């Protein structure tokens, strides 16, 4: 269990994290989403007791990090920047951490095996590829068999096989009842991995909700309509409660009304339709919508969802 209460952090004049509060629960993967520079890594460093918040506090299993009696047995973390001496072997990196907690060599070998680095345990970490470095970081996080795990962009720089491996590992760890908190700036990645997401922008909390809810969100669904008589159809749709955006290509984008309702309405009033396509914004667009205000301050685009995908195969098509 991780709790953040009003976490705030300035770097000089930059407000990196702004009164951020959330909880990360055990037994599920919680995604931590936000555009570049939104404060994800800073928040994770504050949880780990590495950066000191200007205000607020973070707790792990009810205690501030510095009060944990055996930190490695309670929390494991893979942070953004590599935390490994390039001249030290993978084994020795883990061994020096293990010694602080009286963890035996067997456990070190075990986690090296688990992340697939047993063969190269004696090699200097500086010679490792990006993916191997990530695996070593993950091994360090798992060393003390902790109930709480933090991963800052764990799939960064990994090949598809590596990404799949991390995704499976995260799901597995959550399945064992652990608290898994993983940051990403890709909503699509989180849709596959996470059960819950905490979304931030400019250091502020934007959303804290289950992924399933986000996927099924009706506001992401809309209908593309083409008609030779838009001047007649638009008022009809609006009086029926729909919002209409005139697209650039002459098509209307309608939200708030289903395709059936639009078709029926047009039929009743004898308005001809040339196209009636139910569509769904991708999760990535939903994410961009959520964070738009925080990215481009004040420059909110009034157009509806821009790029579109057909809704039929999408996970949220059924209503």
Partner 1 sequence: MSAGAAAIGTARLPGGHYGPLGQLRSEWTKMRTVRSTIWALVATVVAVIGIGALATAVTAAHWRSGGIVDRVNFDPTARSLAGLFLGQIVIGVLGVLVMSAEYGTGTIRATLSAVPNRPLVLACKTAVFALVALVASEVLTFGAFFLGQALLRGSTPYATLGQPGVLRAVVGAGLVLTVLGLFALGLATIIRHTAGALTAYVGLLLVLPLIIQAFPQSFQHSVMKFMPLVIGERMAATRATTHAFGGIPLLSPWVGFALLCVYSAAVLVIGGILMVRRDA
Ligand X SMILES: Nc1ncnc2c1ncn2[C@@H]1O[C@H](COP(=O)(O)OP(=O)(O)OP(=O)(O)O)[C@@H](O)[C@H]1O
Residues forming contacts to ligand X in the complex (CB under 6 A) are 11, 14, 16, 34, 36-42, 80, 185
In sequence order, the 6+-apart residues with CB closer than 8 A to the CB of 184 are 31, 32, 33, 153, 155, 190
Scan residues 217-256 and list those touching partner 1 (CB under 8 A): none
The correct pick among 31, 34, 39, 71 for binding partner 1 (CB under 8 A) is 71
The nearer residue to partner 1, 22 or 287, going by C-beta atoms, is 22
127 binds partner 1 (CB under 8 A): no
Residues 63-82, interacting with Mg ion (CB under 5 A): 80
* 84 backbone dihedrals φ, ψ, rounded to 5°: -130, 135
Sole binder of partner 1 in the list 14, 21, 100, 243 (CB under 8 A): 100
CA distance 252 to 194: 34
**Closer by beta carbon to ligand X, 38 or else 89:** 38
Give which of Mg ion, partner 1, ligand X, none residue 34 binds (C-beta under 5 to 8 Å, depending on kind): ligand X
* Contacted by 73, from partner 1, ligand X, Mg ion, none: CB < 5 to 8 Å by type: partner 1
Per CB under 5 A, the list member of 28, 41, 179, 184 interacting with Mg ion is 41
CB under 5 to 8 A by kind: which of partner 1, ligand X, Mg ion, none does 78 bind? Answer: none
In the complex, least distance from residue 140 CB atom to ligand X, rounded to whole angstroms: 20
Specify the residue, 80 or 238, whose C-beta has the smaller distance to partner 1.
80
- Residues in contact with partner 1 by CB under 8 A are 25-27, 45, 48-52, 61, 65-66, 68-75, 77, 79, 81-89, 92-93, 95-97, 99-102, 140, 145-148, 175-178
């Amino acid at each position: 269990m991780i709790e953040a209460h009003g976490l705030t952090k300035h770097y000089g004049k930059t407000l990196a994290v702004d009164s951020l509060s959330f909880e990360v629960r055990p037994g599920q993967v919680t995604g931590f989403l936000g555009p570049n520079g939104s404060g994800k890594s800073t928040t994770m460093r504050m949880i780990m007791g590495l950066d000191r918040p200007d205000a607020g506090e973070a707790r792990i299993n009810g205690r501030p990090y510095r009060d944990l009696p055996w930190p490695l047995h309670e929390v494991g973390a893979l942070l953004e920047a590599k935390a490994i001496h390039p001249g030290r072997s993978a084994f020795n990196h883990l061994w020096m951490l293990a010694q602080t907690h009286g963890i035996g060599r067997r456990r070190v070998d075990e986690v090296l095996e688990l992340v697939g680095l047993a063969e190269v345990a004696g090699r200097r970490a500086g010679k490792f590829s990006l993916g191997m470095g990530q695996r070593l970081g993950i091994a360090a996080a798992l060393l003390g068999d902790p109930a709480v795990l933090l991963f800052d962009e764990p799939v960064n720089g990994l090949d598809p096989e590596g990404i799949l491996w991390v995704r499976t590992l995260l799901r597995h760890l959550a399945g064992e009842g652990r608290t898994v908190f993983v940051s990403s700036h890709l909503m699509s990645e989180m849709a596959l991995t996470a059960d819950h997401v905490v979304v931030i922008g400019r250091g502020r909390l934007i959303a804290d909700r289950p992924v399933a809810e986000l996927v099924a969100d009706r506001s992401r669904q809309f209908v593309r309509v083409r008609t030779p008589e838009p001047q007649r159809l638009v008022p009809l749709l609006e009086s029926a409660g729909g919002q209409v955006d005139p697209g650039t290509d002459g098509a209307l984008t309608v939200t708030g009304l289903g395709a059936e309702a639009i078709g029926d309405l047009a039929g009743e009033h004898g308005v001809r339709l040339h196209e009636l396509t139910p569509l769904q914004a991708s999760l990535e667009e939903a994410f961009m919508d959520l964070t738009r205000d925080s990215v481009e301050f004040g420059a909110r685009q009034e157009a509806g969802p821009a790029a579109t995908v057909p809704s039929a195969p999408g996970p949220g098509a059924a209503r």
